Amino acid sequence: MAGLTPVTRAWRPAVLVVAGLYFLVPLAASVVFTVDAPGRGPSFDAYTRIIGTEGFLTSLLLSLGLAAATIAVVLLLLVPAAVAVRLGAPRLRPVVEAVCSLPLVVPPIAFVAGIGTVLKWGPEHLSRTPLFQTFVALQDPGFPVVLVLAYAVMALPFAHRALDAGLRAVDVRTLVEAARSCGAGPVRALVTAVLPNLRGALMNAAFLTLALVLGEYTVAQLLGFRPFAVWIVNVSGSQAQMSVAVSVLSLLVTWVLLLVLAGAGGRTSGARRARTAKGTP
């Protein structure tokens, strides 16, 4: 707090309190609504009924699987591209940034309408070709790959921002040249020298993608699939109290995953600093 004026010192706690109330009051109201049982006092029936409700576990596992696949696709696309642009073609960085920002311009309803048109056009015109089975596999209700592709496109703006911020804080060229001078190839230099220094950015990109997949509703609903967000909305039509309880639990699960990612990154960074202090690689 040294160097801060008295006015700044007084305003900082006030801003933090207001921000905390802005986020915590609606959450507290939701929790009160889920446990309120008129005439019986507090009751946790809404939470105890969640696991036994039809479709809960299936939809949750589907969303987590979609999230894991989407994170893998996004990182496999963005990391090599961002590093290559940083090293070999820095003038293309605005072009890559503009392309990755395009999903923010296209409304989700227009995006999913285009996907639906392609999925209908494919089987009609390619029914006698091997590509017909590809379109069928993309729409498998057990694991709809088309949702992975759609979510990967929607996550590009957020993941790119996180990775770009991490790359700006790291001297990628020096790291790669040092690794190459030690005999490492391009891929090994990327894996052993660059990625460990981008751990925080990678985790931020992964968490933003996870949050997007767990909360996305429009694309999945209009394409006829039933991941976790769609299941919550369907349940809310007949069991409002339990649907709010599921939303609260979903938010808590997201927070827990964030804490796990942050803790894993902190432990790995601490272990690496310890090895460096001891003089070991």
Tens of pLDDT along 160-194?
998 988 888 888 888 888 888 887 777 888 888 88
Q: How confident is the model at residue 157 (pLDDT cuts 50, 70, 90)?
A: very high
Q: Return mean pLDDT, the chain.
A: 81
- 131 CB-near residues (< 8 Å, 6+ apart): 122
Q: What is the DSSP string of 133-197?
A: HHHHHHT-TTS-HHHHHHHHHHHHHHHHHHHHHHHHTS-HHHHHHHHHHTT--HHHHIIIIIGGG
So what's the pLDDT on residue 190?
A: 80
Q: Look up residue 159 and give its two tokens.
A: 């993941």
Please tell me the chain's helix, strand, coil percentages from 3-state DSSP, rounded to the nearest 5: 80, 0, 20
Q: Is the pLDDT of residue 123 over 50?
A: yes
Tens of pLDDT, residue by residue over 59-75, are 888 998 999 999 999 99
Class of domain 55-233: mainly alpha
Backbone angles phi, psi at 36, to 5 degrees: -80, 120
Q: Where are the alpha helices (DSSP H) in the chain?
A: 6-35, 45-48, 56-88, 93-105, 108-125, 131-138, 145-168, 172-181, 186-189, 199-215, 218-223, 228-236, 240-278
Mean pLDDT of 122-151: 81
- 232: nearest Cα among 247, 211, 218: 247
Residue 41 β-bridge partners: 37
- 156: nearest Cα among 82, 223, 91: 82
User: Tokens 């015109």 identify what position?
Assistant: 125
- 33: nearest Cα among 21, 18, 44: 44
User: Tokens 């942050």 identify what position?
Assistant: 262
More confident residue, 148 or 35: 148
Q: How confident is the model at residue 268 (pLDDT cuts 50, 70, 90)?
A: low
Tens of pLDDT, residue by residue over 72-113, are 999 999 988 888 888 888 888 888 888 888 898 888 888 988
Q: Is residue 257 within 8 Å of residue 210, measured between CB atoms?
A: yes
Q: Is residue 135 within 8 Å of residue 123, measured between CB atoms?
A: yes
Q: How far is CA 154 from CA 111, 172, 173, 251, in A?
A: 9, 27, 30, 20
Backbone angles phi, psi at 53, to 5 degrees: -75, 135
Q: How confident is the model at residue 200 (pLDDT cuts 50, 70, 90)?
A: confident
Residue 174 identity: T
Q: Look up residue 194 and give its two tokens.
A: 């660059």
Distance of alpha carbon 215 from alpha carbon 246, whole angstroms = 12
